[in-house]
Structure 1
Amino acid sequence: MAQEYDIPFKSLKIFNGNTHAHSIFTYSHGNHLQRHQNFVKGDKVLFIDSLYISRPKNSQLKKEWNSFQGLPKKHYEEAVKAGFDFYCVTDHSQEEAFFPNSNNNTAWAIATKNAEDATNTNFSAFMGVEHSENDSDNGRGHFNVIGSSTYINAIKPGVDIPYFYNWLKENPKNLITGNPVAVSFNHPNIDQFNNWDYRDEEITEIITLLEIINNQKLKYEGFLAALDKGWRVSPVAGIDNHNYTEIHKAQSRTFVLAKKNTPKSILTAMRARRTYASFDKNLECRYSVNDSLMGSIIPQKKLYHLKVYVNDPTTDDESDKISKIDIVTRKGKVIKSFELKRPQHKYFWNITIKDKDVDQFLFIRVWDNTKSINTQKPVAFLAPIWVSKQNN
């Protein structure tokens, strides 16, 4: 181990955030409703910011709903208090508040303005949608579309996954700001999205993220399945909260390596797959292969030189020490695993591996020093690096 840490791409800063959250505009379900077996549907029950929202059948709005749920701006306020660098509100695209789907839709305009107002030099706020396809024979699954200036209704007849992918190809940027749009697969099962079908190179460069941590639940098998099917996705973590009271409690984070904390820089990092997901809210990680940063596509070589840097600044907690680091390739095969005899809060691992051991890509898993049998799983998952045989 080097006496001084040779931190890969240390000019890029690490920012933490949440990539999956629901405000009151996701009104069809959530903590703000209570269900009643014999309740008769009422109409236009909520009036907020010049907007009526209807509730679903057999439900009633809780009297104290606004003590834990509200507009996107309330989520952003709580995220700032909790130390988030960025925060994405991703309400369902099919919600009644977003009818008709239009840039001039009142709810969409309010949500977009909330994000603009909350963004400053220390915090980036994003409005997006969760595109939730649950009905199609051409694949089912949920996606987050972050930073777009428009959206489409996920349950409108004919809007199946191929339709959605074509729409993404026509809208890869925000039409107003010119910023890139970031898209993730949400909480995936192993065979979701029609077993990861309809992939081509164009859509692969747009859907660059995958939610490997959802509300503290690990979706590792879905991550491996997507990678093995050829998707080049980088791990993210979403709280998937339908309230704002969970924000300060949440420990999991999406981390991005970006030049600065601006919407453009954060979204650019997401599209470049410079992300990692962690169950620890302040774990600093990064690595490079042959001097290319995590998330990169590199030419095939006989040898690959890895520089892995991990640091947990919570030095008063023994469980936060780094205990093990894995290098993983296709089908979840562990190429190398290094277990620290004496776990440390900060560690640099410099290692060389052979090309014959790498099958198309590799990524890093990090383990902390937690001893509980119920929490013995990696604490962080870092973006893969892909090996291209065409660039020799």
Structure 2
Amino acid sequence: MEGIQQEAEQTELLSRGKRAWAEDTVAGHEAQLAVDGQSDTCWAGAPYYKWWKMDLGGPCHIERIFLRTEAQGEMESYTRYFIEVSDDDLNWSLAAEHTETAAPAPGGLSYPVDLEGRYVRVTLTYCSSGETVRIYDLEAYGRQLSSRQPVIDRRAPRKFAAADYDEASGFARFEADDVEPGTTYAALRSGTEGSWLLYRNVDLSDIGVDQLRGMFGFADLDKSKQVVLEVRLDHLDGECVGELILFKQWKRWSNLAGQLTAAEPEQLSGVRDIYLVLRDVAPGQELLIHWLAFAKGTALPQPQPRAEALPEPAGEYRIYFGNLHSHTGLSDGIGTPDEAYDYARYTAGLDFLAITEHSNLYDHDLDWARSRKWVDIQRTAARKTEEDAFLALYGAETTWYNQFGHMNTYNMDCFINAYEIKYNDIAHYYHTIKQYPDSIQQWNHPWSCGNRHLDGFDPYDPELDEVMHMIEINPIESKELGGLYYYVMALDKGWHVAPVGSQDNHHGQWGTQNTLRTGILVDRLTTADFYDAVRHQRAYFTSALHLSVWFRINGAIMGSRIPRTETADIEVHALYSLPTGHRIVRMELIGEQGQVLHAADHDSDELHCQLTISWPDRYCFVKLYQEDGEFAATAPVWFED
């Protein structure tokens, strides 16, 4: 009993008044207010999935953490979160996680902890009362440890500070104040070819290291100014096991991963001396480095076989409208997935919404299997889906900043992040997604993809064509190039894709930001029916609200591939599924190179057209105009020899 009392006496409140900072702060609710000892003050940030940090000032043995995220007396709302502890502000150990979906006990929650560290981080992952998360009180209890020289630990896959080198030439230390809000870090910089860093006794262990990871920054924000960093073993001129072509991504600082390969696998194991050498630096550029790590890349999941096609309905296909490209505050938008799905369904009246966060902005962006955001979006989508009423879909936007473009992936169990440098080789990326025959791929906004424009859809690849299903149209952002220009270009090069209308929401208004929509033709509004429609290109673009279009050739619905015939019997039926007061004023049948094969003026809120054409092109699709210039463009019917 006496020993227990002595231990209790040694336990002290470690957190009161310690320095705190946060990823986001609502004005008047600064991070420091979470540790000021006042019950009516709090830190607040928005939307949820924001972190809050505290520096205890020195090494401590933490034995208990108390956390209160709701105001005293507030009984209805609840917050989910996890708490981590670190000794270096780089490597974090989980101390506690709160995943309950019911209001917590009054007065907060207390967690037993048995960890040594200097830093405490809380990441708040959900708040039932809205997007703003709060910490009213955080108290860390334990014992301060005697001051000691930090031990540099370079065991894979731990991160270590780049500034903790053993020898260097051409690199200089500096204090980086833009790595994350509220603090500064020691970092390195060099713009001189031939500069090098030496890290002795790096323990590559036996985990199968195949990546060098790091937080890299760039003095010049011009993405074209690249740096080539070599990874060499044991000597400055030793075996080169990695070549990282680095360039500025979305922001100055990014977590990037480059592939490592050695002539013999055992060379990337055990304890080695590692040299990092700047082989090539664009004029005026400087490479900045905050931390480094040697790791094993996370494998992608096993592919699923392509689902069997669903039978055609006994009657006509039903048409539903939605948006297949949107963002929330979990990447670079605003709001939360809950808010987005509810807004799309109940305010905008959409039948489906896909949230497609940027793959480089997920937590654990280099390890998809560890991402809580990825799991939470899937859970939210499952909770918000009500088949035959509303589909809450999800995907990821693979995002390149090397002027290639962006692509959405759907129906995959993972996301692919181009911050893994191997995916900046587009042929390698395409080879990867071809391994997933059940996946759905979409070319996003080719009109704004920089100099490369998705490589002009070259070269045509019949295997890739099996998973490439959609391409975006947006005449609002670009009247000329955002119209049919890239759609027709892709069709002429042989791709079997359907045009879709997406809002790419970054400022909320999911479904009301503009009138762009995707129409899908299905028997029922279910997830299985939806993906079946997209796989078979039964989808179309419309900026004319509620305009339902059925287009057939020789009885085959849009998206079909049929044998070539000397004549083609065309049927087009269109009507507004809800009264809009608008009229259909023109119908065009469009073939290769965007040539109009047939046109007819019209003036009604319904259209029923039948015609026969001779020797049709390799494909034909329909474009319908509304009197105000808004239009719908269908997927083609393709003719095959």
Using structure 1 for the length normalisation, give the TM-score: 0.77
1:57 corresponds to: none
Question: Partner letter of residue 327 of structure 1?
Answer: L
Q: Which has the larger radius of gyration?
A: 2
* 3-state SS, counterpart of residue 255 of structure 1: strand
* 3-state SS, counterpart of residue 75 of structure 1: helix
Supply the distance in 1 between the matched residues of 2:398 and 2:314 (Cα, whole angstroms): 34
2:223 is aligned with 1:223 = no
Supply the distance in 1 between the matched residues of 2:536 and 2:408 (Cα, whole angstroms): 16
Supply the distance in 2 between the matched residues of 1:107 and 1:98 (Cα, whole angstroms): 9
Q: Deviations over 1:8-46 (max 9, x none)?
A: 98531101110110111213xx5xxxxxxxxxxxxxxxx
Supply the distance in 2 between the matched residues of 1:330 and 1:98 (Cα, whole angstroms): 45
Q: Deviations over 1:342-366 (max 9, x none)?
A: x0001100000001xx221111000
* 3-state SS, counterpart of residue 242 of structure 1: coil
Q: Structure 2 matches for 1:94-243, cutoff 5 A?
A: 94-121=360-387, 122-135=389-402, 140-159=404-423, 160-173=425-438, 181-189=439-447, 192-213=453-474, 217=478, 218-243=482-507
Supply the distance in 1 between the matched residues of 2:350 and 2:537 (Cα, whole angstroms): 20
Cα separation, partners in 2 of 1:199 and 1:133, compared to 1, 3 Å: farther
- Give yes or no for contact 2:321–2:351 (8 Å, CA) kept in 1: yes
- Give yes or no for contact 1:188–1:219 (8 Å, CA) kept in 2: no
Q: Deviations over 1:318-341 (max 9, x none)?
A: xx211110001111100000112x
- Give yes or no for contact 2:470–2:497 (8 Å, CA) kept in 1: yes
- Which stretch shifts more, 160-169 or 380-389? 160-169
Q: Offset of 1:265 from its aligned partner?
A: 0.9
1:362 corresponds to: 620
Cα separation, partners in 2 of 1:17 and 1:230, compared to 1, 3 Å: same
Q: Offset of 1:70 from its aligned partner?
A: 2.0
- From the two aligned structures, give the one with the greater strand fraction: 2
- Give yes or no for contact 1:215–1:241 (8 Å, CA) kept in 2: no
Q: Offset of 1:284 from its aligned partner?
A: 0.7
Q: Offset of 1:259 from its aligned partner?
A: 1.5
Question: Which structure 2 residue ranges, 5 or more long, are not aligned?
Answer: 1-312
Q: Structure 2 matches for 1:1-392, cutoff 5 A?
A: 10-27=315-332, 30=333, 69-81=334-346, 82-121=348-387, 122-135=389-402, 140-159=404-423, 160-173=425-438, 181-189=439-447, 192-213=453-474, 217=478, 218-313=482-577, 315=579, 317=581, 320-340=582-602, 343-355=603-615, 358-370=616-628, 376=629, 379-389=631-641
Question: Partner letter of residue 207 of structure 1?
Answer: M
* 3-state SS, counterpart of residue 420 of structure 2: coil
Supply the distance in 1 between the matched residues of 2:595 and 2:362 (Cα, whole angstroms): 45
* 3-state SS, counterpart of residue 239 of structure 1: coil
* 3-state SS, counterpart of residue 617 of structure 2: coil
- Give yes or no for contact 1:216–1:239 (8 Å, CA) kept in 2: no
Supply the distance in 2 between the matched residues of 1:327 and 1:152 (Cα, whole angstroms): 38
Q: What count of residue pairs does the alignment treat as equivalent?
A: 320
Supply the distance in 2 between the matched residues of 1:100 and 1:215 (Cα, whole angstroms): 34
Supply the distance in 2 between the matched residues of 1:99 and 1:214 (Cα, whole angstroms): 32
Q: Offset of 1:227 from its aligned partner?
A: 1.0
Q: CA RMSD of the aligned region, Å?
A: 2.0
Q: Offset of 1:379 from its aligned partner?
A: 0.6
* 3-state SS, counterpart of residue 76 of structure 1: helix
Supply the distance in 2 between the matched residues of 1:195 and 1:229 (Cα, whole angstroms): 9
Q: Offset of 1:77 from its aligned partner?
A: 0.8
- Which stretch shifts more, 96-105 or 346-355? 96-105
Supply the distance in 2 between the matched residues of 1:185 and 1:316 (Cα, whole angstroms): 31
* 3-state SS, counterpart of residue 446 of structure 2: coil
Supply the distance in 2 between the matched residues of 1:387 and 1:98 (Cα, whole angstroms): 45
Supply the distance in 1 between the matched residues of 2:633 and 2:421 (Cα, whole angstroms): 37
- From the two aligned structures, give the one with the greater helix fraction: 1
Identity %, equivalent residues: 26
Supply the distance in 1 between the matched residues of 2:432 and 2:527 (Cα, whole angstroms): 22
Q: Deviations over 1:358-392 (max 9, x none)?
A: 2211110001112xxxxx4x511001111101xxx
Q: Deviations over 1:190-231 (max 9, x none)?
A: 972212124321210111111012766533211111111111
Q: Offset of 1:266 from its aligned partner?
A: 0.5
- Give yes or no for contact 1:296–1:385 (8 Å, CA) kept in 2: yes
Once superposed, which parts of structure 1, at least 4 consecutive aligned residues long, lie more than 4 Å away?
214-217, 313-316
- Give yes or no for contact 2:437–2:466 (8 Å, CA) kept in 1: no
- Give yes or no for contact 1:187–1:214 (8 Å, CA) kept in 2: no
Cα separation, partners in 2 of 1:332 and 1:172, compared to 1, 3 Å: same
* 3-state SS, counterpart of residue 230 of structure 1: coil
Q: Offset of 1:315 from its aligned partner?
A: 4.5
* 3-state SS, counterpart of residue 369 of structure 2: coil
Supply the distance in 2 between the matched residues of 1:188 and 1:352 (Cα, whole angstroms): 34
